[in-house]
Amino acid sequence: MKVDKKGEWLEVEIPTEWDGISIDSILKDRWRGPKKLLHQMRMEKRVQVNGKINTQWTSPLHKRDRLQLRLFIDEEYGVEPEYLPLSVMYEDDHLLIVDKPAGMDTHPNDHNGGTLANAVAFHFQMNGLKTKVRHIHRLDRDTTGGVVFAKHALAGAILDQMLEKRLIKRTYIAFTHGKLNQKKGSIQEKIGRDRHHPSRRRVSPTGETAITHFERVQIYSNPPMSLVRLKLETGRTHQIRVHLSHLGFPIVGDSLYGGQKEGISRQALHAENVSLIHPFTNEEISVAIPWPDDILRLEKGVIHKK
């Protein structure tokens, strides 16, 4: 689909398959825009067709009409811009995918700085973009890898729904203790809070549904470890860490869930790929996130393979 940013406006050329569809149907049904945002866009006259404000959102559009949406408006960042190293893996007018390092929170808690969101705000500021920092999902403080941010409100709403419908695919790798005999499988165990520890989670019959798919990539003998690739079907707090520990194969370095710090000072867990269908262009986006140095050193140090 042909889309183009023109100043504050996004211009969409109506494709053949949208011929006869109304503005209302595109915004509500195709893009699933939230009612509050769409009402605001209507009241502020932020929707045009062929350069003219069109109050009849139910009128049909035709092939090659130009639907124009004023999406790129100035907003407060929501967090303080702060210069921090930032590895941008993918960026366009609508979304940003960055590589979160270990030891960094995704967003501020209790107004603390030094987070990925602060770094993204600074990146936006340096590029002349004034928009709210919208993270679509999070990673634990000591988990590395890809995190998706939206660059305007409609992109944020669409990406949030895509995540909820499992249309944003995230692939992780982890080094675990022990030799995992099962080549592939799924862990379907509910996860809830551990009432004996403020930050731990645990497998609990009264918890929330959690499903993790895994595939064993490699086994190492000295010390006995496994390299596992994982995909989430749900996104519970600490889900991979809890599930692997429950399976009897805690992640190396994950002291909260039974792992030992052997060659790495944090959990050896990395989000190595993010893939999705672009919400506006319909292109397939697949972004590989390189393994960080500490995980590469861990792999190199485990030299005796089975």
> Please, are residues 212 and 262 in contact by the beta-carbon 8 Å criterion?
no
* Active-site residue identified among 140, 142, 254, 293: 140
Whether 254 is catalytic is no
Reported for 190-196, long-range contacts at CB under 8 A and 24+ positions apart, including other chains, are: 191/236, 191/237, 191/238, 191/239, 191/242, 191/243
Distance of CA 241 to the CA centre of its chain: 18
- As annotated, the active-site residues are 140
